[in-house]
Amino acid sequence: MISDPSIFSPAPVLEGSDDDQLLRVSLGPQHPSTHGVFRMNVVLDGETVVALKPVFGYLHRNHEKIAESVTYLSSMPYTDRLDYICPLTNNWAYANAVEKLAGIEVPERAEYMRVILGELTRLINHTAFMGFILGDMGAWGSALMYAFRERELILDLFEDLTGARMMANFMRFGGCRNDLPAGWAEKCGKLVDDYGPFLDEMEKFLVGNEILLARCQDVGQLPPATLINGGITGPMLRAAGVNYDIRKADPYGIYERFNFRIPLGEKGDVYDRIMIRFLEMRESLKILRQALDQLPEGDHVNPKAKIRGFKPPVGEAYARIEGPKGELGFHLISDGTVNPYRYRVRPPSFINLTLLEDMCLGLDLADVVIILGSIDIVLGEVDR
């Protein structure tokens, strides 16, 4: 991509010869439905997409390079800001990588807390996704407001626990920063109980809607082989029927202890992606219920883990988790100093985005918007 200098010119695909009838439109970076500062240079024939070129980097913040020049702990709040819809899974993935690198044990209670927070984050992400995708389809914000209403309740829990609604900075190497406050687990249990009815309402609002069916079905599907070759992970891959969920495929934490299922779609179109996320939310509720019931007493952080002057031994480690958007991995190389020698993120949003053009070709402009929405990107993670 970089070798193609045209991506740096202000409006590369927009200048066409007068001769052809194609319309070159730059969707974004200032566009209502690009989920941030994302840009697609679209070539249209009528309303049909003939070519589409994603252009990104407008939100590039040097995340990886900064992480190589600050201490291991100092990178933790930066990971919050990768995928800012779900900071806690980012924290978790990073903590996992460092623990693997330094060989730190995580106490039982901390593992349970991590699972609870991770699944709550999945709920947040998928709930917000429902709102966003309907917004992309042109519903005037109702679904978004309902989704955010419920998301706020989870964010309240996060605020009680971590002190911040979104930028949690909560996981530590060897556990979590602080223990659950009194009564938190009960509040969380109540939320888990109340979430089912909300999902029912949302499902009624969304799933039966004939307009939504017409808009979403058979849009943006790709053969599973292409998806696998493209490195697509997460709900997008499972919607196409590929059984790949890291919680099962390469279990981390204590996921083996819980009883949950992986929903699989068939066609892998936008509709399947929506429905898979719905079903995943219900499975998440199951996991949450089990985790809350089994939550043991004990340390919230490994007492042996150092906060100040943390120096992992020389080595490298890659740890991945099933983030709400897909496989989220951190690759760290340590040279024995307080800073990582190399720090690399495998962002699911970014990699899922790579097949955007293949999904959109031959479809309408309106389809591009919902396909982009169904990939569920967060530009903070794409551009880093």
Q: CA-CA distance, 21 to 48, in Å (whole number)?
A: 12
* Long-range contacts, 353-359 (Cβ 8 Å, 24+): 353/54, 353/56, 353/377, 353/382, 354/230, 354/231, 355/222, 355/226, 355/227, 355/230, 355/232, 356/40, 356/52, 356/54, 357/51, 357/52, 357/53, 357/54, 358/222, 358/226, 358/230, 359/220, 359/221, 359/222
Q: Which is nearer to another protein, 31 or 344 (CB)?
A: 31
DSSP 53: E
DSSP 7: G
Q: Are strands 39-45 and 23-27 parallel, antiparallel or unpaired?
A: antiparallel
**DSSP-based three-state secondary structure for 30:** coil
Task: Work out how close the CB of 325 gets to another protein at its nearest, in angstroms, rounded to a whole number.
Answer: 19
Which residues are bridge partners to 27 per DSSP?
Answer: 40
Q: Which is nearer to another protein, 97 or 161 (CB)?
A: 161
Task: Work out how close the CB of 151 gets to another protein at its nearest, in angstroms, rounded to a whole number.
Answer: 11
Q: Which is nearer to another protein, 73 or 333 (CB)?
A: 73
Q: Which is nearer to another protein, 2 or 155 (CB)?
A: 155
The one-letter code for the residue type at 372 is L
Task: Work out how close the CB of 134 gets to another protein at its nearest, in angstroms, rounded to a whole number.
Answer: 6
Q: Which is nearer to another protein, 4 or 88 (CB)?
A: 88
Q: Which is nearer to another protein, 56 or 278 (CB)?
A: 278
